[in-house]
Structure 1
Amino acid sequence: MEKHDLIFNQPITRWDEALPLGNGLTGCLLWGNGEPLRFSLDRGDLWDLRLAPEVLDERFTYAEMIECVRRADQEGLLNRFDSIYEKYPYPTKLPAGRLELRFGQPAGSVRSRLALRDACAHVELAFAGHSLLVSSYLHAVNGLGYIRIAGETSAEGRLDIVPPDYAGMLEDASADPVFHTSLTRLGYPVAEQHEEGEVRWFYQRTNHELDYAIVIAERQIADGERLAVYAIASNRDGEEWLDEAKRKVTAELDAGFDAAFRDHLDWWKRYWGKSEVALPDEEAEKQWYLNNYLFASCSRKGAPPMPLQGVWTADEGLLPPWKGDYHHDLNTQLCYWHYLKANHLEEGESFIDFLWNLRPEAKRFAQSFFDAPGINLPSVMTLNGKAMGGWPMYSLSITNHIWVCQAFDHYWLYTGDVDFLRDKAYVYFRETAECVQRWLTEGEDGKLGLPVSSSPEIHDNRLSAWLDPVSNYDLSLLIYLFRRLQDMAGRLTLAADANRWADVLAKLPELAVNERDVLMVNPKESLTESHRHMSHMMAIYPLRVLDRRGSERDRKIADETINNLEVLGKGQWVGYSFAWAAAMYAQQGNGEAAVYHLQQMWRYTCSQNGFHLNGDYKKAGICMFHYRPFTLEGNFAAVCALQEMLLHTDGETLRAFPAVPADWAAKCIEFRDFRGEMGVFVSARMSENLLDFIELRAERGGIFRVQNDFAGERLQVRIGDKITELVCGLRRTFTIPLQAGEACRIVSL
């Protein structure tokens, strides 16, 4: 894996180009030239959770929002639901602070390397007459950070703890508070600095319930070797949180850098052993490994799931872009698109657990805002599920929560875990439907609709963004919700429930399609210009409400709508738009277009460290947005699209290499232990335009359906010592029954 390492031969001058380290809860960005070398630190649960007063007002309700829309009261919508997001600096994700290693002068040369396999960063600093090697990792298990400084002059550098500048002179609010709000607006006091022997820390009090500290212990271990161990601790860790942090970092000084590193390395070895790819495209292969590294760094079971920036909150003396919040109009969903197929269940379960544990809050919000039973979460929300405001047609959408539900559906489909289906997935879907049904009303045509509708983020936050009749975005989610409920109820033999969901489904209108067979925004409007959010195309991907393989009509609509992207152009796209489009093209089997769009995103909207920066910040001309706010959803949407090129699993049919470019197919492509649906692991190889083999390994027993993409109709199946032959037409499907723990290998004869 060394070929996938990040290597830079010049000093890193920006935090969003830094070497990223993380263990799910804490994060570190390593950058600088030695004067200083910065360790920008973050922790996932550091939040200012104060709410805007308007959120607590009795008129903060869906009914009031509907009335504002009906009377075209834009001022009321802005004041009550929208501008509160920018009016107050809170709620917001908070940066932790930083460590700064200073040597009195910048290094003459700096070489930085992030070893992905080891999750360890190394920075070589060359000064006049001597050099130093700084190595650092965030421990995968114990959560602590380790820094080793090696070299003859290792004792000379000064390691400072620098708190965020919460108490500087209050700056004027920027014209763009989403991206340029000073930390000073939060009004926190100056952090207190303390020292006890080898241990130093700052103690940051806030003006709400949070207190936190960065604690570091430091020692000269031997001539030419210095060790520091740090922790980010908060009063959420228990009563003795600060003393416990001091004890831990001191104990690890005694244990040493290498002893702790062995457990850290074992964790990452297990992680990398879950799946792998080998691609003839070096860029695509590196991106797969790099982004799976980023995923494990910022999403772990037992820690909060990643918000917009994961565990790498901006280090600019400002609030993070969009306050580092949880956005459910695509951001959280795209972040958790790829992990199941990549077989990283535990890391992705962070999102599932988070949503499930927030059910009590989701019930309260459904009642207080929607005046409804069941569950619903705000689409722009805090760590504890509270509403933050923002463009109300999206931040307070009743249907965005359906898209959140898909995380449960995907988990059930990929694992085949019937207990999860019964106890969690079906419950979460059913309770979501209870809230939505409160507001579904029957029109004169007998079809169900919503009192207000929209299509993120078309027409931004203008009055024209409120659509009547229902948008394809909302309708696609409603069709998906009740279709999946019907299917789940059938699998659970809940016949009465299945009939009830089928009745609702029958009353939903058809998707709006124009005379060119292109999906519309809603029955009154077609999209006439490019747009960053593919909201009108949800039925194609990720919901797959349209059945491209089972219905000629659906295939035509999907293909014409995807082709229409080329007519509209990419001027108003951002980075994740390219990744989403690549996933669409992969559904068509168009590998050339899929990889082209991935290349556009990776090359022009991603930083040198892989971070998705949204805009064409290099001004290469691929879109009109030239800003660079860092968010993670584009990273993982791109990996998802790449995996869709290698393996389709929809409808429980496995298709190997369904959308690879011709030059890849002519060489050699391989993946190992991707998850297919219903608890099966899939490995496959293709070389010189021929499918060499498919291997299946069953985590649980079942009958698995495979499409014959081999060169001929005669196939050989080996299960253990048993070899059988079968005949299957090209592009037809065959089935393989496997018991739990069994594996088979399929080749062409």
Structure 2
Amino acid sequence: MRNHKFIFVLIFLAGVYASLQAQPAYESRNSAVLTTAPAKLPVKRVPAAAVAGNGDIGLTLGGNPDHLTFYLGKNDFWRAHPVYPGGGIAFPGGFDIMISDLAGASYRAEQQIGKARIAAEFGKGKLRVQMNTIVSATSNNVLIELTANRNSRLKFNLWPAEGNTSEVSNGKDKDVYRAVRSFANTPMLEWPSHVAIAMKVLNATTSSEQSVELPANKKVVFVLSMFTNHDRVDWKSHAISNVQNIDEQAVARLKESHEQWWSNFWSKSEIQIPDKMLEKYYYTSQYLLGSSSRKDKFAPGIWGPFITQDSSLWGGDYHLNYNYQAPYWAAFSSNQIDLTDNFDQPILDYMEKGKAHARDLLGQNGIYYPVGIGPKGLVTTRWPLTEDEMLKRYATRENTIDGGYKFLGQKINAVFSVGNMLMRFYSTYDSDYAKRVYPYMQQCAIFWEEYLKFENGRYVIYMDHFNEVMPNIRNKGIWRNRLGDFNSSLSIGLVKMLFKGMLDVSEHLNVDAERRDKWKHIVSHLSQPPVGEVNGRMALKSVERNVDSDNPPAVGLSRVSIHGLILPGGIAGPKTDAEFNKILLSDISHWKDNIASKADWANTSGNGIETCFPAAVRVGYSADSVLMYLKERISAQSLPNFWITQGGGGIETLAAVPLTINEMLMQSYEGIIRVFPNWNKRKDASFKTLRAYGAFLVSSKLEKGSIQYVDLDSEKGRVCVMENPWPGRKIKVVRGNGKTEFVEGERVSFSTSVNERLRLMAM
């Protein structure tokens, strides 16, 4: 009998284990649990609180159990003023729930990424209040459900943010409360912004004191909606009618469609690795980006929609010298193409102003972009409008530098965005998309065809700066003495990326054939990235020369040079230029020198975690070492909601872990697919439908040191080029129609058909 019980227990435990193993990798075990109320809200940066969003509306849960505050942000609510602070993305307002019986109560808020909701519980004595909150994935609604085990009472308050020249109002229409905030009449606003937040309560009767009974074991639901004039012309009346028309059945439908949307989101791709800490950050980063960005909505700024006050740092704008581009980098290989769809519109909307900048400030054609812009052609980075304010903030009265715009010595800002455009093009070969962005790329090419100088058999780049150059309190107005960078490694890389991309996209679209010889000449004759000797080895230089020296020291590969050469530049790698890659790999091997702790590796506490770690993988640095340093960096600087933080930005860090892991499991730069290219083969791992250049979805599994298979879904029927996952062995290719063929070699290629599915196995 005892043996039977023992066997039963074993079977039961095996079933539990199997169930856990079958559980999707993104599910509840990756939830963030916060056991103390957020201490610092509002903030100008990323909030250390439970958050939820739908890529347009962002909700940040603040306050204590007896006074909860729901901060409501929206990606399209901007104070369209050209200078920050004051200008940039603005804070609409919030909603408070006050339950005095919970004063001093325990706090537990779980940010559940699988269901995309915040599940909270507060307790004091015998009173327990549970709360579930979602930001609907398919509508402009927020649902807050409250249930108590004992009778209690709560008050509520819906409020608009005030100040910063805004006009605000509150009111009530029958059973719907409203809060309105507008920016419309301030001088120099480029366009008006209005937002309305509406709210009503289901399953409760409100009083004039804005309070309701919370009956024992009965759910009370607060339904909110939020619309701006950028959503629709009737923004205010629609916010009110939207809430008025929602009943319990509508709530159920909203919840069902919300769960379905997120289920579809998680089905796009999957990875499984043995390190569950990194897996947790991998999926939470995906969740946070999915909460921040959405197709057909305004693109997120530096902090996404999780805005808790006006004048967030850098105006929460679109910073074009990497901050705006970087959040999307992992979305391409993670097969989350829809999340990237909003990226291009603000870039395209600024083109006419970019042409004017090039013409008026440099006397040439093409487009020339400042460091920061916003949506709808807005510039956010004007110098202060008065000389006195300029003196206070920048130690000089000269507020007309570069026509009053912040270019900060950099000519390359427009080309930075071409990197994302090419990532999407190579990942999808979507002709409609290529037609949409080609005019922008074309204008970038026109600019650089004129700006490059052909000297001594090579194209060179004058006065385009590796770092930002600007007046500040420290340099006391002598900042112009820092101008003079020649052949920045950042610029060389991005310009080469641009013209290689022009050749590929123009051929795909069958346009500009007469210009390709010029572009080929630029690609083949552009100056090489500068290198020099340091301590007996060759290392990368930031610039070929600068104002200090005709032969500046070699400082090695850094975050900024990575942008030009590896991400998004994509012009360097072990297969692209093996000898140059050895220099980059040597530079990375010296990142560990002179660091205070492992968390300082790659110097990413300020900026660059999303850049340096995946670049180290691409170049071929030890995977185990990269993961070790990555975990140290995360442990040193991340929030309880699993948001990795850094000094200079917010949502760009969301690319760090997914891109690093994706690059370890599958690479496809220059159109060659590599499976488990930089992964410790002694560690089991698998991935499903990661997206590769060539419009392929790739799945594979590594088990007991052997790659079990490679599955391919070919979207566009292109020829597949792949490094042999089984070196020295033939590959069996099984097509969806059952036909089989064999290929062999160090690098193999084979044809595919549109929407064909294939499986590759070793022979």
Q: TM-score range by the shorter chain?
A: 0.7 to 0.9
Letter matched to residue 94 of structure 1 = A
The 3-state SS of whatever aligns with 1:373 is: coil
Matched residue, 2:166: 188
The 3-state SS of whatever aligns with 1:722 is: coil
Shift of 1:611: 2.1
Matched residue, 1:199: 176
1:608 aligns with 2:643: no
Give the conservation status (yes or no) of the 8 Å contact 2:709–2:761.
Answer: yes
Letter matched to residue 278 of structure 1 = Q
Please give the alpha-carbon distance, in whole angstroms, between the structure 2 residues aligned to 1:440 and 1:712: 45
Please give the alpha-carbon distance, in whole angstroms, between the structure 2 residues aligned to 1:657 and 1:158: 56
Matched residue, 1:502: 520
Letter matched to residue 96 of structure 1 = P
Please give the alpha-carbon distance, in whole angstroms, between the structure 2 residues aligned to 1:231 and 1:153: 29
Give the conservation status (yes or no) of the 8 Å contact 1:455–1:536.
Answer: no
What are the residue-to-residue correspondences of 1:551-700 with 2, within 5 Å? 551-567=577-593, 569=595, 570=600, 573-574=604-605, 576-589=607-620, 590-615=622-647, 631-660=650-679, 662=680, 665-700=681-716
Please give the alpha-carbon distance, in whole angstroms, between the structure 1 residues aligned to 2:636 and 2:538: 32
1:738 aligns with 2:752: yes
Matched residue, 2:270: 276
Give the conservation status (yes or no) of the 8 Å contact 1:649–1:677.
Answer: yes
Please give the alpha-carbon distance, in whole angstroms, between the structure 2 residues aligned to 1:489 and 1:383: 28
Larger deviation, residues 348-357 vs 605-614: 348-357
Matched residue, 2:196: 213
Give the conservation status (yes or no) of the 8 Å contact 2:272–2:685.
Answer: yes
The 3-state SS of whatever aligns with 1:559 is: helix
Letter matched to residue 400 of structure 1 = N
Q: Deviations over 1:447-466 (max 9, x none)?
A: 44444221134899744642
Matched residue, 2:447: 435
Name which of 432, 444, 454 aligns with 2:465.
454
Relative to structure 1, the CA distance from residue 265 to residue 360 in structure 2 (aligned partners, 3 Å threshold; closer, same or farther) is: farther
Relative to structure 1, the CA distance from residue 518 to residue 50 in structure 2 (aligned partners, 3 Å threshold; closer, same or farther) is: same
Please give the alpha-carbon distance, in whole angstroms, between the structure 1 residues aligned to 2:485 and 2:591: 24
Please give the alpha-carbon distance, in whole angstroms, between the structure 2 residues aligned to 1:611 and 1:537: 23
Relative to structure 1, the CA distance from residue 592 to residue 538 in structure 2 (aligned partners, 3 Å threshold; closer, same or farther) is: farther
Matched residue, 2:76: 45
Matched residue, 1:150: 147
1:4 aligns with 2:23: no
Letter matched to residue 64 of structure 2 = N
Give the conservation status (yes or no) of the 8 Å contact 2:38–2:62.
Answer: yes
Give the conservation status (yes or no) of the 8 Å contact 2:617–2:626.
Answer: yes
Shift of 1:439: 3.0
1:466 aligns with 2:476: no
Matched residue, 1:261: 255
Name which of 714, 719, 727 aligns with 1:703.
719
Q: Percent identity?
A: 19
Matched residue, 1:28: 59
Q: Deviations over 1:38-75 (max 9, x none)?
A: 211101111111235xxxxxxxxxxxxxxxxxxxxxxx
What TM-score comes out, normalization by structure 2 length?
0.82
Letter matched to residue 90 of structure 2 = L
The 3-state SS of whatever aligns with 1:339 is: helix
Please give the alpha-carbon distance, in whole angstroms, between the structure 1 residues aligned to 2:117 and 2:527: 54
Shift of 1:326: 0.8
Q: Give the count of matched residue pairs.
A: 672
Matched residue, 2:433: 420
Please give the alpha-carbon distance, in whole angstroms, between the structure 2 residues aligned to 1:301 and 1:90: 28
Relative to structure 1, the CA distance from residue 458 to residue 711 in structure 2 (aligned partners, 3 Å threshold; closer, same or farther) is: farther
Matched residue, 1:232: 226
Letter matched to residue 607 of structure 1 = L
What are the residue-to-residue correspondences of 1:335-346 with 2, within 5 Å? 335-346=327-338
Matched residue, 2:302: 308
Name which of 78, 90, 97 aligns with 2:93.
97
Please give the alpha-carbon distance, in whole angstroms, between the structure 2 residues aligned to 1:537 and 1:416: 23
Name which of 399, 414, 423 aligns with 1:401.
414
Name which of 473, 484, 496 aligns with 1:479.
496
Give the conservation status (yes or no) of the 8 Å contact 1:693–1:747.
Answer: yes
Please give the alpha-carbon distance, in whole angstroms, between the structure 2 residues aligned to 1:480 and 1:547: 13
Give the conservation status (yes or no) of the 8 Å contact 1:581–1:597.
Answer: no
Q: Deviations over 1:528-587 (max 9, x none)?
A: 779974336621333132353143322223223323433464485326423322112211
Letter matched to residue 180 of structure 2 = Y
Letter matched to residue 446 of structure 2 = E
Please give the alpha-carbon distance, in whole angstroms, between the structure 2 residues aligned to 1:133 and 1:642: 36
Matched residue, 2:341: 349
Name which of 269, 294, 313 aligns with 1:321.
313
The 3-state SS of whatever aligns with 2:443 is: helix
Please give the alpha-carbon distance, in whole angstroms, between the structure 1 residues aligned to 2:493 and 2:159: 49
1:511 aligns with 2:529: yes
Matched residue, 1:724: 740
Please give the alpha-carbon distance, in whole angstroms, between the structure 2 residues aligned to 1:746 and 1:164: 58
The 3-state SS of whatever aligns with 1:614 is: coil
Relative to structure 1, the CA distance from residue 401 to residue 630 in structure 2 (aligned partners, 3 Å threshold; closer, same or farther) is: closer
Larger deviation, residues 552-561 vs 337-346: 552-561
Larger deviation, residues 120-129 vs 230-239: 230-239
Matched residue, 1:520: 541
Letter matched to residue 566 of structure 1 = K
Please give the alpha-carbon distance, in whole angstroms, between the structure 2 residues aligned to 1:575 and 1:440: 32
1:251 aligns with 2:251: no
1:539 aligns with 2:565: yes
Relative to structure 1, the CA distance from residue 704 to residue 529 in structure 2 (aligned partners, 3 Å threshold; closer, same or farther) is: closer
Letter matched to residue 466 of structure 2 = S
The 3-state SS of whatever aligns with 2:264 is: helix
Relative to structure 1, the CA distance from residue 704 to residue 244 in structure 2 (aligned partners, 3 Å threshold; closer, same or farther) is: same
Shift of 1:255: 3.6
Letter matched to residue 145 of structure 1 = V
Please give the alpha-carbon distance, in whole angstroms, between the structure 1 residues aligned to 2:694 and 2:482: 40
Shift of 1:341: 0.9
Shift of 1:435: 2.4
Give the conservation status (yes or no) of the 8 Å contact 1:378–1:396.
Answer: no
Matched residue, 2:156: 159
Shift of 1:436: 3.0
The runs of 5 or more residues in structure 1 that have no matched partner are: 53-84, 167-185, 616-628
RMSD after superposition: 2.7
Relative to structure 1, the CA distance from residue 741 to residue 460 in structure 2 (aligned partners, 3 Å threshold; closer, same or farther) is: farther
Please give the alpha-carbon distance, in whole angstroms, between the structure 1 residues aligned to 2:691 and 2:563: 26
What TM-score comes out, normalization by structure 1 length?
0.84
The 3-state SS of whatever aligns with 2:758 is: strand
Shift of 1:358: 4.1
Letter matched to residue 397 of structure 1 = Q
Letter matched to residue 744 of structure 1 = L
Please give the alpha-carbon distance, in whole angstroms, between the structure 1 residues aligned to 2:578 and 2:220: 68
Matched residue, 2:9: none
Please give the alpha-carbon distance, in whole angstroms, between the structure 2 residues aligned to 1:192 and 1:540: 50
The 3-state SS of whatever aligns with 1:337 is: helix
Relative to structure 1, the CA distance from residue 154 to residue 539 in structure 2 (aligned partners, 3 Å threshold; closer, same or farther) is: farther
